[in-house]
Homo-oligomer: A and B are copies of this chain.
Amino acid sequence: MSPPNPPLATAAQRTELPSPERFLDIIADKLAATELLFRRDLETDVPFVQQAGEYLLDGGGKRMRPALLLLSARLLDRDSDEEVTYAAAIELIHTATLIHDDIIDRSSLRRGRRTINDLWGNSLTVLLGDWLYTRALQKALAHGNLAVIRRLCDATLRMTEGELLAQQRLGSIDLSVDEYFDIIDRKTAQLFAAAAAIPSLITPADSVAGAALGRYGRALGTCFQVVDDMLDFTASEHQIGKPVLGDLSDGKLTLPLILLLPRLEAPARRAIERVLEDRGFDRTPSSEILDLVAREGALEEAGEIAAAWAETARGALTGLPANEAREALELAPDFVLNRRN
């Protein structure tokens, strides 16, 4: 195995990676078909769902989970409508989660645009999320593949549990590294794992490849979430479309601070705790937190952990067919590690 990729690579290093467009070229047709299907899946006679659906489609999205699913299907040489159905379904599930999470976090911005709850209120937004979850499963049922439905249900349940566990620990300064990883595993990694493994469940099923791809997706998802949590410290509001240190002021402790806290003296610890208590930076300015994080190298350490997960993801691909889809999946962890928004 090659040494872990340096986390948060410099601009010079980043230019060595092929462009994401090239990396997605091999599934461009399938991604386009997924987008069309996603649009069709939102068709209904309920005016609000139509209206909110248009708004969601206009907002776009990285479509990471569909891309992962479609690359995995290409790697296993599956080429039918079925994987496109599941790619659209998994994006519907992801969208439902975001919509309900925005209610919970009282977010008014997502990807630089007003959230559904901010525009239409919580009542319609709760129901829209419910509709999207159920629609995803209804549409995925079209191919009569029970194993896929089971996998989607299991992943959705884990996601809800991850968010519930996170909510229950909101505002707590003593969240452990283990708890953090349990939460992000359920909240994020399990759906990535499902996306990667689902093509192996399409007839003829391939359980060996499925297990490897599941491990890949889970590690990639963990890497993705750690990097996402790091971006809360490093990216500007302009880049990620939401406020800097928003997690902390929402009461959420993430990996950089969990690593930092045990090294701090009581006064610095108290300064962080005040943000959790106040859900804001009235008593502790955000610059003070950012200085502490920089001084102790907490982001670098979190970056190393993310890089180790990226390496685990790549390692899981050993033994799978060596084709251009596998090359793309091998590159994906680098994109995840180096993303800026």
Q: Report A56 CB to chain B, min CB distance, Å.
A: 15
Q: Is there contact, CB below 8 Å, between A156 and B134?
A: yes
Q: Are B128 and A164 in contact (CB under 8 A)?
A: yes
> With the chains together, A138 CA to B164 CA distance in Å?
18
Binds B, one of A32-40, A44-52, A62-70, A76-84: A44-52
Roughly how many angstroms separate A177 CA and B163 CA in the complex, as a whole number? 41
Cα–Cα distance between A104 and B138 once the two chains are bound (Å): 24
Contacts of A128 in B (CB 8 A): 164
Minimal beta-carbon separation of A329 from chain B (angstroms):
28
Alpha-carbon gap, A149 to B163, bound state (A): 25
| Bound form: Cα–Cα A229–B131 in Å | 24
Give bound CA distance, A141 to B44, whole Å.
Answer: 26
- Whether B46 contacts A130 by the Cβ 8 Å rule is no
Partner of A103, one of B126, B157, B160, B163: B126
Task: Tell me whether A137 and B137 are in contact (CB under 8 A).
Answer: yes
Question: Is the CB of A135 closer than 8 A to any CB of chain B?
Answer: yes
Q: Which residues in B have their C-beta under 8 angstroms from that of A165?
A: 46
List of B residues within 8 angstroms of A131 by Cβ: 157, 160-161, 164
Take A104-B127, A134-B133 as given contacts and tell me if A48 and B149 are in contact as well, using a CB distance cutoff of 8 Å.
no
Interface string of A123-152 (1 = CB under 8 A from B): 110111111011101100100101001100
Query: Secondary structure of the A side of the interface?
Result: helix
The answer, yes or no, to whether A258 is at the interface (CB within 8 Å) is: no
Partner of A161, one of B44, B137, B149, B153: B44
Q: Is A167 an interface residue (CB 8 A)?
A: yes
- Most interface-central of A49, A135, A150, A153 (chain B CB within 10 A): A153
Return the contact of A130 from the options B49, B129, B146, B168 (Cβ within 8 A).
Answer: B129
Asked if B47 and A168 make an inter-chain contact with CB atoms under 8 angstroms apart, the answer reads yes
Q: Does A278 contact B (CB under 8 A)?
A: no
Residue of B nearest to A155 (CB): B134
Most buried by B among A100, A156, A164: A164
Q: Contact: A134 with B157, CB < 8 Å?
A: yes
A–B Cβ pairs within 8 angstroms, 20 of them: A45-B161, A46-B161, A46-B164, A46-B168, A48-B164, A48-B167, A49-B164, A103-B123, A103-B126, A104-B122, A104-B126, A127-B163, A130-B130, A130-B160, A131-B164, A134-B153, A137-B137, A137-B153, A141-B149, A144-B146
Partner-B contacts on A (CB < 8 A): 44-49, 100, 103-104, 122-124, 126-131, 133-135, 137-138, 141, 144, 146, 149-150, 153-154, 156-157, 160-161, 163-165, 167-168
Closest 9 CB pairs of A and B: A104-B123, A138-B153, A131-B160, A130-B160, A134-B157, A134-B156, A127-B164, A46-B161, A46-B164
